[in-house]
Amino acid sequence: MSVVLPLEQMTLAEKLETMECLWADISRTSPSVPSPAWHKVILDDRRRLVAEGKLKFLDWDTAINDLKEELRGNSAS
């Protein structure tokens, strides 16, 4: 199956929304998709930075809302 999207006509917000829909479907229907080893390296480093107080995590909904606000031209929280 081939899917053609009008990428040239889509806004950045539309592209991000499309990606979000695709990821939601993949994560819902394919729970056993393995992560590559480099993901663990990145996560371990981020956990260390959080423990040192140099980084903080945002939950997914907050991160998405912040990005949407930024795309609308408003400052994120």
Instruction: List, for residues 15-69, the tens digit of each pLDDT value.
Output: 999 999 998 888 888 777 788 999 999 999 999 999 999 998 889 999 999 988 9
Q: Angle formed by the axes of helices 60-71 and 12-29, to 10°?
A: 160
pTM of the model: 0.46
CA–CA gap between residue 67 and residue 77 (Å, rounded): 10
Q: What are the residue boundaries of the structural domains of the chain, listed by start?
A: 35-77
Using the structure block, give the residue that is written with the tokens 């980084």: 55
pLDDT at 51: 95
